[in-house]
Amino acid sequence: MKIRNIAIIAHVDHGKTTLVDELLKQSGTYRENQKVAERVMDSNELEKERGITILAKATSIVWKDTHINIVDTPGHADFGGEVERILNMVDGAIVLVDAAEGPMPQTKFVVGKALKVGLRPIVAINKVDRHDARAQDVVNEVFDLFAALDATEDQLDFPILYGSGRNGWMAHSPEGPDTDGMKPLLDLVLQHVPEPHVEEGPFRMIGTILEANPFLGRIITGRISSGTIKPNQTIKVLHHDGTVLETGRISKILAFRGLERQPIDLGEAGDIVAIAGLQKGTVADTFCDLSVTEPMHAQPIDPPTVTMSFLVNDSPLAGTEGDKVTSRVIRDRLLKEAEGNVALKIEESVDKDSFYVSGRGELQLAVLIETMRREGFELAVSRPRVVMQKDEATGETLEPIEEVVIDVDEEFSGVVVQKMSERKADMVEMRPSGGNRLRLIFYAPTRGLIGYQSELLTDTRGTAIMNRLFHEYAPHKGEIAGRRNGVLISNDAGESVAYAMWKLEDRGPMMIEPGTKVYRGMIIGEHTRENDLEINVLKGKQLTNIRAAGKDEAVKLTPPIRMTLDRALAWIQDDELMEVTPKSIRLRKSMLDPNERKRIAKTGY
């Protein structure tokens, strides 16, 4: 059977997963009456909740006797590591661009990587049925983007389709016709995407996606570059430096057939397959025949820009809600995550009680923490810090700078520019983007952007859209003012009392409800002033046998601030930690003892 391998790449929310749904539907992968979930490729629980793709996944369809393997990729820059590795597996890419928003930062990032690998993309302008669609302008913007990314003559001569993924049609003109469904796109894939490049020689394959299966163990997915493979064949795994990691027997070979993976008796060069049976081989390693001595070259991955400390939870409430609390199980879980996620880097501290986890952004780390918490882990995490570099020539400290694109209503542009300049950002472009909206483009230090998302939404009444992408390392921009308010800290352990909280309401908004378990050093609210304040929320009303002449005041409390995981990560300061358990998110001072905190404030250690 003839084979084509393609990836669908685009910015977040431009409709990749919805398009895959339609391709599966119209190629006859489903039965007529089969009930299928929306965005079927987002199978992970967190992906369904957040409405985003986190992990790259493969599926396949059959069209006109050709087997088309499709890889759906994440759109968030934080998960860019997933996109960088899967480009090794495919021979073509569909670049999906929103007909109203045009090319966005992540589009630029993934297209740049695809062009560098030598792929000839197909451009699909999606959502042309939007009321603010401007398909022709967007095509010109895409051409300018390709030119700016040094595309070759062949790559600049890209075919263009217009359509609506949700309504299930693509055509050669924005006006339609919409009666052919996805046929024009599938036909174009067969014409434009070359057949897989097959090399001569014995079996070789680079591992691209790693997953664990309860029945088959470790499963590695990749594209076979040369040769064939059969079940029970003995192969070896080469590290990128040429050392042999292991030799083992393949227990099963699975190929993508629609949404299901089916066992096959022979994996041939050019096809994307998953193999099971090996214990150590991971992403970017070369899986090959015993006669092969040279590892294959894997694409380099951009370095992480944000790091956090993961610590063993040592609060007085530790171990009451989760069952995985020791440093050993946390270490094993983090190392397992780093195996399959090449954009993550894990380092152990000297005392072995904490781990430095580095990634592409807060969102990637927040998703890891949320996943661990759902698995029953308890841990404490610090505020995200940026990964600095030293300029070897001058000895100067360099920090990561991001390109930030903010789409905002004109009336709110002033406050956005002001807040971004406070965060040491430089504006490089301001232009109208239609419908009384402006597109502002800044180069801003990553340090200043930590926690800005929620503030931006508050300032613009939820109407602004911010997109970020790593730009470069540049000289340190100096101090950036952090949170301006202090915190309210509990001075004792017990359960909070409504009467005490009611009396303390003028000190600042609370983050807990009556009856919440608190401990000494736990943050229970935000102070209205700049300093931290210790308060007692356990003190009940003094009861006497003398009745009050007036009726007792009914205690009415202001609803507390709800701290989500993402918001708490951005809100805490360097001397504070977030305690994460399967049931709760608590904030605390890293030093629970007030005398210790005073001593450190005075002496600095």
**Residue 162, strand partner residues:** 125, 171
Question: Would you state the pLDDT for residue 139?
Answer: 92
What confidence category does residue 489 fall into, taking pLDDT thresholds of 50, 70 and 90? very high
Residue of 89, 17, 10 lying closest to 53 (CA atoms):
17
C-alpha–C-alpha distance, residues 480 and 171, integer Å: 50
Q: Is residue 359 within 8 Å of 338, Cβ to Cβ?
A: no
Helix H or strand E encompassing 22? helix 16-26
Contacts of 407 (CB under 8 A, 6+ apart): 101, 433, 437, 438, 439, 464, 465
Does residue 300 surpass a pLDDT of 90? Answer: no
Question: Would you state the pLDDT for residue 588?
Answer: 93
CA distances for 390 relative to 98, 348, 394, 469, angstroms: 39, 22, 8, 21
Question: Can you tell me whether residue 247 is helix, strand or coil?
Answer: strand
**Positive/negative CA dihedral, 44, 48, 49, 55:** positive
Higher pLDDT, 300 or 122: 122
236 marked ligand binding residue:
no
State the average pLDDT over residues 155-172.
89
Does residue 451 surpass a pLDDT of 60? Answer: yes
Residue of 302, 273, 361, 416 lying closest to 52 (CA atoms):
361
Per-residue pLDDT tens for 95-114?
A: 999 998 888 877 888 888 88
18 marked ligand binding residue:
yes
C-alpha–C-alpha distance, residues 205 and 186, integer Å: 27
What confidence category does residue 32 fall into, taking pLDDT thresholds of 50, 70 and 90? low
Question: Would you state the pLDDT for residue 42?
Answer: 56
Does residue 461 surpass a pLDDT of 80? Answer: yes
Q: Is residue 520 within 8 Å of 585, Cβ to Cβ?
A: no
Question: Would you state the pLDDT for residue 541?
Answer: 77
556 marked ligand binding residue:
no
Question: Would you state the pLDDT for residue 40?
Answer: 53
129 marked ligand binding residue:
yes
150 marked ligand binding residue:
no
414 marked ligand binding residue:
no
Q: Rounded to two decimals, what is the model's pTM?
A: 0.80
16 marked ligand binding residue:
yes
Q: Is residue 29 within 8 Å of 258, Cβ to Cβ?
A: yes
Per-residue pLDDT tens for 499-552?
A: 889 889 899 999 999 989 999 999 999 999 988 899 999 987 777 766 665 455
Question: Would you state the pLDDT for residue 553?
Answer: 58
**Tokens in use for 58?**
């493969």
C-alpha–C-alpha distance, residues 600 and 591, integer Å: 9
Question: Would you state the pLDDT for residue 330?
Answer: 92
Question: Would you state the pLDDT for residue 124?
Answer: 92
Question: Would you state the pLDDT for residue 249?
Answer: 92
Q: Beta strand pairing status for 204-206 and 217-226? A: antiparallel
Long-range contact set of residues 457-460: C-beta below 8 Å, sequence gap at least 24: 459/412, 459/415, 459/416, 459/419, 460/408, 460/409, 460/412, 460/415, 460/416
What confidence category does residue 140 fall into, taking pLDDT thresholds of 50, 70 and 90? very high
Higher pLDDT, 78 or 457: 457
Percent residues over pLDDT 90 in the chain? 24
Upper half-sphere CA count for residue 464 (Cβ side, 13 Å) = 28
**Tokens in use for 205?**
């394959």
Question: Would you state the pLDDT for residue 575?
Answer: 87
Q: Where are the alpha helices (DSSP H) in 425-572?
A: 446-449, 452-459, 498-503, 565-571
**Tokens in use for 389?**
């570099």
Does residue 564 surpass a pLDDT of 80? Answer: yes
What confidence category does residue 253 fall into, taking pLDDT thresholds of 50, 70 and 90? very high
C-alpha–C-alpha distance, residues 533 and 594, integer Å: 11
Amino acid at 83: V
Higher pLDDT, 411 or 393: 411
Question: Would you state the pLDDT for residue 47?
Answer: 67
**Residue 60, strand partner residues:** 69, 258
**Residue 229, strand partner residues:** 267
What confidence category does residue 395 fall into, taking pLDDT thresholds of 50, 70 and 90? confident
98 marked ligand binding residue:
no
Burial (CB < 10 A; 0-12, 13-18, 19+), residue 50, is: middle
Please give the distance of CA 428 from its chain centroid, rounded to a whole number. 26
Per-residue pLDDT tens for 320-336?
A: 888 888 989 999 999 88
Question: Would you state the pLDDT for residue 39?
Answer: 53
C-alpha–C-alpha distance, residues 236 and 82, integer Å: 24
What confidence category does residue 577 fall into, taking pLDDT thresholds of 50, 70 and 90? very high
**Positive/negative CA dihedral, 143, 147, 151, 157:** positive
Does residue 435 surpass a pLDDT of 80? Answer: no
State the average pLDDT over residues 369-386.
91
State the average pLDDT over residues 189-212.
87
What confidence category does residue 36 fall into, taking pLDDT thresholds of 50, 70 and 90? low
Percent residues over pLDDT 70 in the chain? 93
Does residue 587 surpass a pLDDT of 90? Answer: yes
What confidence category does residue 427 fall into, taking pLDDT thresholds of 50, 70 and 90? very high
Does residue 490 surpass a pLDDT of 90? Answer: yes
Q: Is residue 490 within 8 Å of 516, Cβ to Cβ?
A: no
15 marked ligand binding residue:
yes
In the chain, helix, strand, coil percent, each to 5? 25, 30, 45
**Residue 275, strand partner residues:** 220, 253
**Residue 352, strand partner residues:** none
What confidence category does residue 79 fall into, taking pLDDT thresholds of 50, 70 and 90? confident
Per-residue pLDDT tens for 52-74?
A: 766 777 888 888 888 888 888 87
**Tokens in use for 18?**
């919805």
Q: Which domains does the chain have, with CATH numbers?
A: 2-192 (3.40.50.300), 204-288 (2.40.30.10), 389-475 (3.30.70.240), 487-577+585-603 (2.40.50.250)
